[in-house]
Amino acid sequence: MKVVVIGAGVVGLSTAVCIQETYASCDVTVMSEKFPPEDIVSLVAGGLVVGTRGEFDTSDRIRAFIDTANYFTRLSFAENYQVHGVQMIDGCYCMATETYGEQLSEELMPISAASFRKVVPMSADECRDVMPYKPCSGWHVTSVCVDTRRYLPYLLNKFHRNGGHIKRCKVHSFSQVAQEYDVIINCTGLGSRELARDSNMYPVKGQLLKMETDKKVTDFLYFMNLSVKSDGSHTNFYYIPHGNEVVVGGSYDPDVENRSVDADLSRELEAMARQLHPVMKTGRVVKEYTGLRPVRRGILRIDKKIEVVDGKRTVIIHNYGQSQDGVAMSWGSALQVIELLAPELRINSRL
């Protein structure tokens, strides 16, 4: 069966490799306007696997987080970090509260916590040490962090080794590929605004910086909603190690499409990183950059549609809108596509 996956971000490449590994009879092509290491939002991500709670936490959404966290945990032990960029690290997951060290309900824990190796509430003193500027509470956790600059090439190599094909082009409509392939899988992220004509998709700009440090930073901090504005924009503060570098972020600006860097925000993030971590005190900022999260109003879209395109039965599976959690949901989303694909293999084998 001939399958085309449109999109070569973390969602598309995970889906393509997952299909190859599950259904050896599928001949898989990844078709995309851009491939790693080009400018793709998946390469901007901090890559922390936490799992943001949402208004629409369906069982499928929760399952995608847990399956992905379990997959990355296995991968972190299976091969070398230099090869795939996936590591287990200790860190603190915190949020602003009225006083330091308040008792938080379990419902505030990140979804992926179900597969974290450690989740221990922080004492008031520990919270004060981590964030002296704002009362907060949180947990010590051991989670997974993915350096997508290593992980995406790892997936792409795996896809080639499994016999996959790639084609570089922009897809303007599904009819462009319907005649050549039995199944089309749409993993175009924000590109689905046009390709799937989905008006629920919108960009949320995020800004980050990368620091180089003399010693390795070996822990992470994720502080939710450090400052929140009435328009829904907010600034989180996080630092996440990627090998010898540290990613420091970041902003969350809904409906902002321009990708210019705000120099004031960069200096704020830099100052905070220097104050909060002894190793970053003498770090050098090597890059300041932005990306647009592919956010979907409501919930991410993983579903299957059967359409007749130019007289041919065409199966279209959508897998996009992972919003601020595309890395943390990538493999779990791919596993849900596998379930939707299974009946098509049976139908195809009877033809």
Ligand X SMILES: Cc1cc2nc3c(=O)[nH]c(=O)nc-3n(C[C@H](O)[C@H](O)[C@H](O)COP(=O)(O)OP(=O)(O)OC[C@H]3O[C@@H](n4cnc5c(N)ncnc54)[C@H](O)[C@@H]3O)c2cc1C
Please state the residue numbers annotated as binding site for D-dopa. 238, 293
* Under 8 Å between Cβ of 206 and 291: yes
Residue 8 sits in the site that holds ligand X (CB under 6 A): yes
Binding part of the chain for ligand X, among 73-81, 272-280, 298-306, 324-332 by CB under 6 A, reads 324-332
Query: Cα separation of 279 and 218, whole Å?
Result: 10
| Identity of the residue, 65 or 100, whose beta carbon is nearer to ligand X in the bound complex | 65
* β 201-212/284-296 pair status: antiparallel
Residue 87 sits in the site that holds ligand X (CB under 6 A): no
Residue 244 to residues 18, 42, 49, 276: CA-CA distances in angstroms?
30, 20, 19, 18
| Identity of the residue, 68 or 137, whose beta carbon is nearer to ligand X in the bound complex | 68
Residue with tokens 């210019």: 260
Residue 135 to residues 120, 132, 138, 226: CA-CA distances in angstroms?
18, 7, 11, 10
CB of 259 to ligand X, least distance (A): 10
Which residue in the set 326, 334, 335, 344 belongs to the binding site for ligand X (CB under 6 A)? Answer: 326
CA atoms within 13 A on the CB side of 200: 11
Determine the straight-line distance between the first and last CA of the chain, rounded to whole angstroms: 11
Binding residues for ligand X restricted to 140-179, rule: CB under 6 A = 170-171
CB of 311 to ligand X, least distance (A): 24
Binding part of the chain for ligand X, among 72-80, 107-115, 181-189, 210-218 by CB under 6 A, reads 181-189
Contacts with ligand X, 240-269, as mask; x by CB under 6 A = ---------xx-------------------
Which residue in the set 143, 188, 213, 314 belongs to the binding site for ligand X (CB under 6 A)? Answer: 188
| Identity of the residue, 136 or 187, whose beta carbon is nearer to ligand X in the bound complex | 187
Binding residues for ligand X restricted to 38-67, rule: CB under 6 A = 40-42, 44-48
Residue closest to 325 by CA, chosen among 13, 15, 50, 44: 50
CB of 295 to ligand X, least distance (A): 8
CB of 197 to ligand X, least distance (A): 12
Size of the site for ligand X (CB under 6 A): 41
Beta-carbon neighbour count of residue 257 at 10 Å?
11
Residue 19 sits in the site that holds ligand X (CB under 6 A): no
Annotation: binding site for FAD:
171, 188
Binding residues for ligand X restricted to 197-226, rule: CB under 6 A = 206, 208
Which residue in the set 293, 296, 301, 318 belongs to the binding site for ligand X (CB under 6 A)? Answer: 293
CB of 103 to ligand X, least distance (A): 27
Burial group, residue 94, by CB count within 10 angstroms (0-12, 13-18, 19+) = buried
Residue 288 sits in the site that holds ligand X (CB under 6 A): no
* β 234-242/245-254 pair status: antiparallel
Cα–Cα–Cα angle for 335, 146, 167, nearest 5°?
A: 60
Helix (H, G, I), strand (E, B) or coil at 274: helix
CB of 11 to ligand X, least distance (A): 3
E strand or H helix at 197: none
Which residue in the set 75, 187, 317, 337 belongs to the binding site for ligand X (CB under 6 A)? Answer: 187
Would you put residue 62 in left (φ > 0), alpha (ψ -120 to 50) or beta? alpha
For CA atoms 338, 341, 346, 350, the dihedral sign is: negative
Binding site for ligand X (CB under 6 A): 6-12, 32-34, 40-42, 44-48, 170-171, 187-191, 195, 206, 208, 249-250, 291, 293-294, 320, 322-328
